[in-house]
Structure 1
Amino acid sequence: MDTPQQQQQDQVSPQAKWWVDGQRIGYKGFWFKPEFITASEAIRAHYKPLPSDIILASFPKTGTTWLKALTSSILRHSSTSSSSSIQDLDHLNPHEVVPFLEIEMFGDNPSKDITEISSPRLFSTHLPLSFLPETVKTSGCRFIYITRHPADTFVSLWHLHNNKFGTEISIRQAFEEFCKGLVPAGPYFEHVLEFWEARDRVMFVTYEDLKANPEETVRKIAEFLGCKTKVEEIVKECSFEKLRSTSKERGEGVHWSGNKYDMFFRKGVVGDWKIHLTQEMMKELEDIADLKWRGSGLDLNIFYRTASQ
């Protein structure tokens, strides 16, 4: 039987404008750099989830940074949770506080021993659910998945790519490749669907919910985690303005991903796609969502429901 590495060799992605930082490999229906696929295999082999573990999952540019900030703050301020291992956000970017399973935990050292991290252990991932060990389904560990309207996800991802590499992809070319799934961690629609179909054990949150009703959404997250905390203080501590200000204080510092810290914060608004996409492009996204999500109970109304309130 071929090893995962051997299987990868037959699934090198077609050329895409998004791949200026290296080729992607098609694996289990998703496109990732080879090192992320290797890391996912290490996670499956070595990660032993605890019932107290908390995993924040997301597709890139769907609210990951904000969810990390909110969740770490909830745990740190909770009167019912021992979270001495979680650092505060006063002088740190949320990505420095909550590590990625596929990077800091198992990226550099595939057999890293993480048993000494005190509980509750808080991790994050951009990997699809199918890339993680089966034990995450049986261990009792808690998942929070945040997603965002595909149009705003695309626009935010496109801006980040252009700012990071200084080589602009035309929005039409970038959009066509996004629709084909040829973006980092893509395809978007399949990524969201995997976690949606597991929502009996996954808390499913939308970026639009957080923007429209931050205190109510944070309260639900705290309840899901079994934490008692002052919701208003958490929302204030993790406001977009405060988090962006802290990142700007880091000056020209660069995160391991190659992004300057202030690149994690652009506008943080809902509906920015209206400035960049035509109605025809939006219709194409709607058609893809209808095709990919048909029969699942998931549709684009999940984003419009709260955004319009």
Structure 2
Amino acid sequence: MRKNRAMTHSVAMLALDGVVAFDLGVPPQVFGAARDAGNGFLYSVTTCGDGPGPVRPERGGFRIVPDHDLAPLSTADTVLVPGVSGGSAMTEGTVSPAVAAALRGAHARGARIISICTGAAVLAAAGLLDGRAAASHWAWAKRLRRLYPRVAWDFDVLFVDDGDVLTSAGVAAGVDLCLHVIRQDHGSLVANQAARRCVVSPWRDGGQAQYIEQPVPVAVGAGTEPTRAWALHRLAEPVSLEDLAGHARMSVRTFTRRFRDETGLSPRRWLLQQRVAHARLLLESTDLSVDLVARRSGLGSATALRQHLQATIGVPPSAYRRTFRQT
């Protein structure tokens, strides 16, 4: 883990005309909340524009004056493009030659590239998403598919991590993606602390499907949130679908329907995700054996833990622990 300001990870945000102010404000807050053991900042964030002068945000009756032109994109460790409203990337499938060259140059030299919401359109216009999986706001699915047919768009998820290029869905999903980046860089403990400083959840279940406009389901009894909280305290125990429905005082059929309406996941899928997430936290923060980690997270055996971790993040427990237990 980085110990001083000289070793902070530099993030350059590209603010273009029509920038979504919320998307622009999220990264400095979330990355600024990531601290080392001595409370030192792990990231530095700067704002760039396409040339001198102010940038008009999407709405709000004010202007933004970036501190820099495109120059920091040539040196930053991570380049981040917030969402944009209007502009050629969202209407014509193009960006200025200078912006396209700066983004391609940053990617070519190995910088991590991130977009929030419709910032993915800017990356796509620069040619960085061709043949890749990418996320953006579900409301723009039809337009983005038409403008950028060579991108494998996924409008059901909160974000897509495609290695060196990461894209998120709209607005608050930028928080999820920034926390994911912190988690990948420094582990769950630092990400969870950053989430607490920002007063947000360190991890949201489900995907965009739960937020897509649809008829509101008729309320039947109490929601499933109390039962989810109850289950989180019993991850190491055998909790069945019948147990969950019984705690919620619903039939299995009603509980399953309400649970999916509220989370976008089936109860069994949600419970498995929580157990895998808890196992990852134990691998990062303790020296427990893989067998004990599997039992304490409710996955049963080291074999089951290996299978689920491999399926979820593509690495076995030993490799995951080596990565995130390094100092």
Same fold (TM over 0.5): no
The higher-RCO structure (CA 8 Å, 6+ apart) is 1
Structure 2 length-normalised TM = 0.30
